[in-house]
Structure 1
Amino acid sequence: MELVSQTAHTVGARRGVTSFPPAITQNPYQRLLYSHLADLGFPLETAERLDVGWLVGARRDVAALHFHWPQAYYRHQGRCAFVATWIKLALFAARLLAARLLRYRVLWTVHQVYPHERGGRGTDRTAAVLLSYAAHALLVHDDCTAERVGAELPWAARKVALVPHGSYAGVYPAGRSRSEVRRELGLTDTAIVFLAFGHVRGYKDLDVLLDGFAAAGSAEIALVVAGLPLDGPSAQLVSERARSDPRIKPLLGFIPDEDVAELFCAADAAVVSRGDGGTSGALILALSLGTPAVVADVPGYLDLIRHGAAGWSFAAGDPQALGHVLDAAVADAYEFAAK
């Protein structure tokens, strides 16, 4: 509320907020965020591009430029990528300067200081430095990310505002029964089912997940990997392991809203295997839906599971440790069922 009030005071009649990159309606995080801002009188205004022409023309309606994942505005894919990326980075810097001169409020929600898939030769670092200087505020969802901002961008630490990630409770419809979903997946009612939900990408440490699952000694367990593949090697790894182990059930594709809650209902626990820390929407989703989680032992995740009250933790990056923790979760599940 304080940031909203500051923006209103600074820009007067202008009250629109524009998301960069543009908000995706399928993303409940952005959908809920901008819906609540609109309720407070700060409507979402769309932008097809970020350039000086748009900045000049949008001044009448738009008060704040809200960055989430800025790499699309400076990275170039394809031929001459190195040179083209630095040219785009220079243009990005010029546009940020223009935004400040035109009295926009610049906000950066730091989901992570640097992109998960790092670029080359200092471009991500340079972009983070530029945006941290241009931003009036850097918003973070957890103390772990705030500490990383302080370590990597110390001059921006005074501009950091901690805004806890919202809950997804009530966002997704309940869906079908646990038994019906399990039958469709080829799972028995007595199996202990772990769910890895979210985009299938390299930074999710899916190799640790799959190796840890293979290392678990419990007999009747299963692993559902559900989410849209965003890189080929990760999807291929999941598919190959599923072909060799029928206990692994891949659902590699976009998961519609009506299928989300029922997948978590069918699972006994979620698994978040990534060990890089930061904000995990998949973990917050699991806990919002009442599903305990197995997580890597990084500070932000340990805080969310309340240091064991809502799940289990394993040594990040260690498949054997994950296997042991999966076995512990299975034992706990059987104990709860017997009570």
Structure 2
Amino acid sequence: MKVNYTGFQASEVSPYLEVHQALKAADHRNGKPDVLAYTSVARMNPYQALLYRSFPDHGFAVAPLLKPFELRDLMLHKSRASSITLHLHWVNWVLAGEPDAQRAQTKVSGILGRIDRFKQLGGKLVWTAHNVYPHDAAHLEAELALQQGIADRSDVIHTMAASTTAALAEYTNVDAQKVLVAPHPHYRGAYEDVTSRAEARAVLGIDDDETVFLVFGALKEYKGLLRTLEAFDQLLDQDPSGRYRLLVAGGADDHPDVQEFISRGLLHDRVLMEPSKIPGSKAQYFLRAADAGLVTYTRSLNSGAALLYQSFGLPVLATDTPVLRETLPPHTALFLDANAAVDEYAAQLKALRALARSTTQTDVLDGIAHLDPSAVSSTFAQDLRSRLGLRQH
């Protein structure tokens, strides 16, 4: 029999199959497992795998929900499970590609109705607040109505920092009694990491004496890419002997600002760019070649990229938000106001070079040691069981 990689591609019998397989693989020695089905499913980013790493040890059967509209099928397993919980992560799938504002509102009402029916049948709901609202929101009013509806219906609202609730307040009213804080785990060991700095630089064509600033991950307008390029150019003008390099890697969308950034970057002799999705095995070349990472977004809540940089021992320059201040160790990070002028941004880039030279990888890794994925996952699983009123495992 050929392996079919259940949970990686939806089939005709999804999501029944994924929950069935999760229950079969679960430990039943302490009774029926508690099913936790999560969506949307992100395979390129190992965040979810890290977050749920220890859940099986705490009585959960974790299953990907590849067809998120098919909530009713989750309850087909009610007799086989002690409980069934739906964990919503990013919810941009609800309105993705919808051009009409009125139809967007109808879709919001529809999915909230399905969630209501799921809960009426005994299901529990958890929502993780990843962003203040979806990055590519075309119908902001509808997206915020959806987000508020989910927050109102959630039994638990998972945030990655205590300051998230205040950051959301402008857009979504969150009941503080529902909030459960579980930090973003670091990525140490989640990506292939066998190459050296020298080999990585040789592969990419970067000299040993260059200071390399890295922008890694999806290239989106909200990441302020053009402002980053302008600040980098100003730094080159101010310090022409500095030997700086801007390294960019990640899949690009079709926003005009992103396309302009790519066009200018490809012609820039101090910018090295790979504007396409980077396989996990190749991420190490960009991360090991860099001296520091940039997460200077114009709109930001949490940042997996910041922790990815730090997981490879890199100091970062990040947008100055309460959540990122709470997340990043102060001795390994610098901060920049989201509305800072280009000259201030350039000055912080120069300061980042000094920080990179004075900070060791050990300094950075020690600062995120408390974000060990197994420990974060185990604590989250235990706390979630308690908050959902599940029997102790």
Counterpart in the other structure of 1:329: 352
Counterpart in the other structure of 1:77: 97
Q: 1:25 aligns with which of 14, 19, 43?
A: 43
CA positional deviation for 1:320: 1.9
Q: 1:258 aligns with which of 281, 304, 328?
A: 281
Counterpart in the other structure of 2:267: 244
Question: Does structure 2 conserve the Cα–Cα contact (< 8 Å) formed by 1:205 and 1:317?
Answer: no
What per-residue deviation string (whole Å, max 9, x for no partner) do you get for residues 191-232 of structure 1? 000101111111111122111111113331001111122344
Unaligned runs of 5+ in 2: 1-30, 361-393
Question: Does structure 2 conserve the Cα–Cα contact (< 8 Å) formed by 1:20 and 1:66?
Answer: yes
What per-residue deviation string (whole Å, max 9, x for no partner) do you get for residues 91-114 of structure 1? 112111111101111000011231
Seen in structure 2, the aligned counterparts of structure 1 residues 132 and 57 have a Cα distance that, compared at 3 Å, is same
Query: Where do residues 141-220 of structure 1 align in structure 2 (5 Å cutoff)?
Result: 141-154=160-173, 156-216=175-235, 217-218=238-239, 219-220=242-243
Counterpart in the other structure of 2:391: none
Question: Does structure 2 conserve the Cα–Cα contact (< 8 Å) formed by 1:136 and 1:159?
Answer: yes
Seen in structure 2, the aligned counterparts of structure 1 residues 91 and 58 have a Cα distance that, compared at 3 Å, is farther
CA distance in 2, matches of 1:155, 1:306: 27
CA distance in 2, matches of 1:227, 1:199: 5
CA distance in 1, matches of 2:58, 2:297: 35
Seen in structure 2, the aligned counterparts of structure 1 residues 78 and 333 have a Cα distance that, compared at 3 Å, is closer
Q: CA RMSD in A?
A: 2.3
CA distance in 1, matches of 2:174, 2:263: 46
Counterpart in the other structure of 1:317: 339
CA distance in 2, matches of 1:56, 1:142: 32
CA distance in 2, matches of 1:41, 1:96: 24
TM-score by length of 2: 0.75
CA positional deviation for 1:237: 2.5
TM-score by length of 1: 0.87
CA positional deviation for 1:32: 1.7
CA distance in 1, matches of 2:257, 2:162: 29
Query: Where do residues 262-277 of structure 1 align in structure 2 (5 Å cutoff)?
Result: 262-277=285-300
* One-letter code aligned to 2:186: S
Seen in structure 2, the aligned counterparts of structure 1 residues 105 and 333 have a Cα distance that, compared at 3 Å, is closer
Work out the number of aligned pairs and report it: 322
Using the TM superposition, name which of 159-168 and 117-126 deviates more: 117-126
**Higher relative contact order by CA 8 Å / sep ≥ 6: 1 or 2?**
2
Instruction: State the secondary structure of the residue aligned to 1:271.
Output: strand
* One-letter code aligned to 1:269: A
CA distance in 2, matches of 1:271, 1:76: 28
Q: 2:84 aligns with which of 23, 46, 63?
A: 63
* One-letter code aligned to 2:336: F
Counterpart in the other structure of 1:126: 145
Seen in structure 2, the aligned counterparts of structure 1 residues 76 and 185 have a Cα distance that, compared at 3 Å, is closer
CA distance in 2, matches of 1:32, 1:85: 33
CA distance in 1, matches of 2:313, 2:199: 19
Counterpart in the other structure of 2:325: 302
Seen in structure 2, the aligned counterparts of structure 1 residues 99 and 201 have a Cα distance that, compared at 3 Å, is same
* One-letter code aligned to 1:250: M
CA positional deviation for 1:151: 5.0
Seen in structure 2, the aligned counterparts of structure 1 residues 129 and 315 have a Cα distance that, compared at 3 Å, is closer
Question: Does structure 2 conserve the Cα–Cα contact (< 8 Å) formed by 1:149 and 1:156?
Answer: no
Seen in structure 2, the aligned counterparts of structure 1 residues 82 and 150 have a Cα distance that, compared at 3 Å, is closer
Unaligned runs of 5+ in 1: 1-11
CA distance in 2, matches of 1:50, 1:172: 31
Seen in structure 2, the aligned counterparts of structure 1 residues 148 and 296 have a Cα distance that, compared at 3 Å, is closer
Identical-pair percentage: 25
Seen in structure 2, the aligned counterparts of structure 1 residues 76 and 151 have a Cα distance that, compared at 3 Å, is closer
* One-letter code aligned to 2:211: I
Give yes or no for the alignment of 1:87 onto 2:106: yes
